[in-house]
Amino acid sequence: MTGLVSAERGIGEIVLVDALPEFVVVVFAAVTHLADPWFLFGLLAVGYWFASDRFAAAPRRAGATAIAAVTCAYAATALGKAWFAVARPPGAVGPADVPAWLPGLLSAWYEAQVLSDGFGFPSGHATGGAAAYLALALAYDRAWTARKRLFAAAAVAVAVAASRVVLEVHYLVDVLAGLAVGVGVVLAALWLAGDSRVRRDDAAGRGASPALDPTVPFLLAAVVSLGALTVAVADGHSGEVVEAGIGIATGVGGAIGWRFVDGDEPAVPVRIAIPALAVTGGLWVGAYALAGTLGVTLAATTAAVVAVVALPALPERIDRLSASRS
């Protein structure tokens, strides 16, 4: 599929960012973490587990739908990268020009931010950032005002997108495409989940529907990831095979996990959330550490996502079990 997007797609932005002071680039290296997958899914999980009805009419449904929307966004990114298969800017492959004034530990961190492998179009950080922060702004519709939520979401998403260009791991067109894909996918996912605002159901009011159902968006993410896997295998893109496989597992795991949840559960108690975070975090780390074994990666990712999504139903099940034993 190479050739649909030009490998030489820069418009002079690299020359401009080369002129930036080193400390500005270091700041943007920190900003880019705001759309790292581990950070976004951690943020989404915290909202899903702990949000109260001060943030949404049905916080568990809102949180799960936000997770499903971002899962769809990453699936679309995997498909786009495998389909277009174009390289990143030359500076992304190194060697890294590390500022001499950074201490040793930060030098290693900085180098990790300015070097990236894999394909460059569209930007995964720009797509994920736009999707996650827009999904949070729309799903938790009782926090602040709509204008403030959308402004904050746009500001963070644009800052992350800019960071990818400043770090020279993406061209401008990569991040613009990522922002557009992220926004479009979130709106589509919310429509599939039954959001009355996206469906323009005026009779349902101005807020998000309290009957949001993330099942279809989760399954859509799995289907799109399956398409990405097919393209990646056909074209021999081994790195994209792993990413697509994780997308399939995340979509399937989310749909399975939601089957255990009624949608009206209270916030998850901290005494349950902390050990659950340790278990799911361990599964995620294992999934990536064993990326060379696709079957293990799929199993670990599926188990982690099922646990994350099903967790709000666990306290009631524990109470029922305790009552039956008593």
Tens digits of residue pLDDT in 180-235: 999 999 999 999 999 988 887 755 556 666 789 999 999 999 999 999 999 999 99
Q: How confident is the model at residue 325 (pLDDT cuts 50, 70, 90)?
A: low
Nearest partner of 52 among 60, 41, 44, judged by Cα: 60
- Give the whole-number percent of the chain exceeding pLDDT 90: 70
Predicted TM-score of the model (pTM): 0.93
Instruction: Region of 243 please: left (phi>0), alpha (psi -120 to 50) or beta.
Output: alpha
Measured between alpha carbons, how far is 181 from 127 in angstroms, rounded to an integer? 6
DSSP letter (8 states) at residue 141: T
Q: Is the pLDDT of residue 170 over 80?
A: yes
User: Do 92 and 115 meet the contact criterion of CB atoms below 8 Å apart?
Assistant: yes
Nearest partner of 81 among 297, 229, 295, 262, judged by Cα: 229
Nearest partner of 16 among 142, 193, 165, judged by Cα: 165
Write the CB contacts of 276 (distance below 8 Å, at least 6 apart in sequence): 268, 307, 308, 311, 314
Greatest Cα pair distance in the chain: 71
Describe the crossing of helices 37-50 and 59-84 by its angle, rounded to 10 degrees: 160
Nearest partner of 99 among 22, 29, 28, judged by Cα: 22
